[in-house]
Structure 1
Amino acid sequence: MNAVDLSLYRPNVGVVLFNPAGQVWFGRRAGTPEPWNWQFPQGGVDDGEDLEVAARRELHEETGVRSIALLGRTSEWIPYDFPKEPQGRKSWSGWKGQRQQWFAFRLTGTHDEIDLNAHGEPEFDAWRWGRLEEAPGLIVPFKRPVYEQVVRAFAEWAA
């Protein structure tokens, strides 16, 4: 297998938020048509930013949640290519795709803390709890292999 040149991929973090019952948080992407419009929080890493700090920041910006405990993280970057067809503002000029480090957090507060309008324009317009193994079937097809890896990596904390 050929090595992937990670310098061609935009650094990004993803977050799987577990509730105490082992269910995971899914957000419905605002303005994204069905059927693949549910996903986990994710976002870019600022230059020099610690990856866990970036994951906590992205989770707060997209969900309002701050009361969390770290369960684990993926050990290596997981890259994916952007699709060939235009995807609007997320088709980052100059990048082949994104490389992600994923973090698993447990919600230590209550779900009342969830506020999709916590930071600027909302990424999500609805949210729900679900089963971790549902995730690959909910995400856009080009990200499905990433979600399959994340499900395997974080299965020990799932309901």
Structure 2
Amino acid sequence: MTDLSLYRPNVGVVLFNAEGRVWYGRRHATPGPHNWQFPQGGVDEGEDLLAAALRELREETGVTSVEFLARTDDWILYDFPPEAMNNPKAWRGFVGQRQQWFAFRFTGQDSEIDLQADDEIEFDAWRWGALSEACELIVPFKRPAYEQVVAAFAHLAAQKSA
């Protein structure tokens, strides 16, 4: 059995637009080709997971106009790659991340998206794309986690809002 205390608590967000496409952000100052991902981030001590997901989404994209669609049932884990572990201060003793993923429908206009909404810039570009692209765009060490996210939310990609 996996010791979850070794994994940093984290939330991830898949943001669907009215056409069933998903939001991708290109990680700031990160060379390609695998530098696109969904918003995600750490959970503060005692923070509700849904509140953390909404906070991360707002901080990283400026988006607040959303409707809750779904949440993954279980924690999705991934390990940090060996090269990332060379800086133990960066990961504070964690071997990876455990994530709860949330799906939201974006109910605002694209003009609401503001990649500079927070002092810490996470993304320097964004686009809408197919959910099925996710595993090709993400860094390889996160790919197994993204495969689980895509499988969990695939039914939402086919749904378009009225």
Is TM > 0.5 for Structure 1 vs Structure 2?
yes
Counterpart AA for 2:51: V
**Deviation sequence 1:59-117 (CA, Å, 0-9, x none):** 00000000000000001001110000137699412001000000000001111100000
3-state DSSP class of the match of 2:118?
coil
3-state DSSP class of the match of 1:102?
strand
Q: Is the 8 A contact 1:18 1:104 kept in 2?
A: yes
Question: What fraction of aligned residue pairs are identical, expressed as a percent?
Answer: 69
3-state DSSP class of the match of 1:148?
helix
Structure 1 segments, 4+ long, off by >6 Å, are 87-90
Distance (Å, rounded) in 2 between the aligned partners of 1:90 and 1:148: 29
Q: C-alpha root-mean-square deviation of aligned residues, in Å?
A: 1.4
Distance (Å, rounded) in 2 between the aligned partners of 1:69 and 1:15: 12
**Deviation sequence 1:132-158 (CA, Å, 0-9, x none):** 010000000000000000000001111
3-state DSSP class of the match of 1:118?
coil
Counterpart AA for 2:59: E
* Alignment CA distance shift 1:90-1:58 (3 Å): farther
Aligned runs of 1:61-100 on 2, under 5 Å?
61-86=59-84, 91-100=90-99
Distance (Å, rounded) in 2 between the aligned partners of 1:106 and 1:89: 37
Q: Does 1:53 align with 2:48?
A: no
Distance (Å, rounded) in 1 between the aligned partners of 2:44 and 2:120: 19
Q: Is the 8 A contact 1:46 1:54 kept in 2?
A: yes
Partner of 1:138: 137
Q: Does 1:152 align with 2:128?
A: no
Partner of 2:29: 31
Distance (Å, rounded) in 2 between the aligned partners of 1:11 and 1:86: 17
3-state DSSP class of the match of 2:117?
coil
Distance (Å, rounded) in 1 between the aligned partners of 2:88 and 2:114: 24
C-alpha deviation, 1:19, in angstroms: 0.1
Q: Is the 8 A contact 1:9 1:96 kept in 2?
A: yes
Distance (Å, rounded) in 2 between the aligned partners of 1:45 and 1:18: 22
Partner of 1:126: 125
Counterpart AA for 1:19: N
3-state DSSP class of the match of 1:62?
helix
Unaligned runs of 5+ in 1: none
Count of matched residue pairs: 157
Give the TM-score taking structure 1 as reference length.
Answer: 0.95
Which of 34, 42, 45 is residue 44 of structure 1 equivalent to?
42
Distance (Å, rounded) in 2 between the aligned partners of 1:53 and 1:69: 13
**Deviation sequence 1:6-32 (CA, Å, 0-9, x none):** 110000000000000000000000011
* Alignment CA distance shift 1:111-1:71 (3 Å): same
